[in-house]
Structure 1
Amino acid sequence: MSKNKTSVSPELDTPTDLPQDGVDKISAALNTVLADTFALYLKTKNFHWHVSGRHFRDYHLLLDEQSEQIFGSTDEIAERVRKIGGTTLRSIGQIAKLQTLKDNDEAYVPPREMLRELMNDNKKVTAGMRKAHEVADKYEDVATASILENFIDAAERRTWFLFEASRQEGGNEA
């Protein structure tokens, strides 16, 4: 491995055919995606726990399903970073430094606003995954690109469901 590789302990220096510059850039992009994924997971669970109103059951179940899917992607993203020889997140503090999504600590958020906020956050996560995909493409890292393609599709599905669930009664877009 490259002599410039200071961020990875020799014991964790996974061999790869990717250039060190590629490992560093792909790992950085994936770690930002991972931080946002954890932030989105926690916000989705927060809203799942605190949703109220006449559509409680539907929204509660939707957000639970989505949070499970979001959390399910975290291990694959982190393990991909390790497979290419990078290091990944180690703490909540590191997530807080890297995340681009805004937290929502409000005591009460109306259900429709919850859904719209999560819809927009899923769109931001999708955009971050597309950027990471561009980096992976630059270094011909097809495995990372492939994983991201599946996660982009899943995030777009979540966005669609949140959009439809948050529409005003009568069919008009919000």
Structure 2
Amino acid sequence: MAPKKRKPVPEKLRTPANLNRNDTVSVAEALNRVLADSYALYLKTKNFHWHVSGPHFRDYHLLFDEQAAQILLVTDLIAERVRKTGNVTLRSISDISRHQTIRDNDADFVSAKDMLEELRADNLALVEGFRAVKKAAGDAGDNATEGVVDDWTDQAEQRAWFLFEAGRGA
């Protein structure tokens, strides 16, 4: 489902920014997409943390919890970056669902191996989203966003790597 076009920023929420307003809108849209995907990935990771089962239960349970905490920390940084550009961010679960590209997993049972593979793919999809943010920020001359997104990309790549290595023997 395509996200709705954003309304203008309400006067009371306007944050002064020294970037071109039209340019910051494209950066904010890209940031809001990765924010929605980050929330979707956070919830999926917590879901798998709660429901993992099998011989590597403890290792996967702890890995998923650690990764979920890291993802949740980044969500606040992404949202604050949107606000710093003078724009508004997501407001609700339904707003998140309108913007997310990472699919939910509501299955009654998912094998540990499938959990690892799905989370790895989702983290790599998030990396692609961060690359789109970096491009939009570069096009807008938004050096701050362009720089900070590198750390978020590295974290998602590391999570994907850990999930890949953990899944080798699964």
Q: Verify same fold: TM over 0.5.
A: yes
In the other structure, the counterpart of 2:129 is: 128
Alignment partners' CA distance in 2, 1:93 and 1:147:
27
In the other structure, the counterpart of 1:112 is: 113
**Percent identity (aligned):** 52
Q: Does 1:26 align with 2:27?
A: yes
Alignment partners' CA distance in 2, 1:43 and 1:19:
36
Alignment partners' CA distance in 1, 2:136 and 2:85:
13
Once the 2 structures are TM-superposed, how far is the Cα of residue 28 of structure 1 from its aligned partner?
0.3
Within-5 A mapping of 1:1-174: 7-168=8-169
Alignment partners' CA distance in 2, 1:114 and 1:85:
38
Alignment partners' CA distance in 1, 2:137 and 2:33:
14
Alignment partners' CA distance in 2, 1:121 and 1:167:
17
TM-score under structure 1 length normalisation: 0.93
CA displacement, residues 77-133 of structure 1 (integer Å, 9 cap, x when unaligned): 000000110000000000000000110000000001000000000000000000110
Alignment partners' CA distance in 2, 1:112 and 1:19:
46
Alignment partners' CA distance in 1, 2:63 and 2:76:
22
Unmatched 5+ stretches in structure 2: 1-5
Alignment partners' CA distance in 2, 1:143 and 1:125:
19
- Which portions of structure 1, spanning 4 or more consecutive aligned residues, are displaced by more than 6 angstroms? none
Amino acid at match of 1:113: D
Bigger-Rg structure (1/2): 1
Amino acid at match of 1:137: G
Once the 2 structures are TM-superposed, how far is the Cα of residue 6 of structure 1 from its aligned partner?
5.2
RMSD: 1.1
In the other structure, the counterpart of 2:3 is: none
In the other structure, the counterpart of 1:172 is: none
TM-score under structure 2 length normalisation: 0.95
CA displacement, residues 148-172 of structure 1 (integer Å, 9 cap, x when unaligned): 1000000000000000001136xxx
Alignment partners' CA distance in 2, 1:161 and 1:152:
14
Unmatched 5+ stretches in structure 1: 170-174
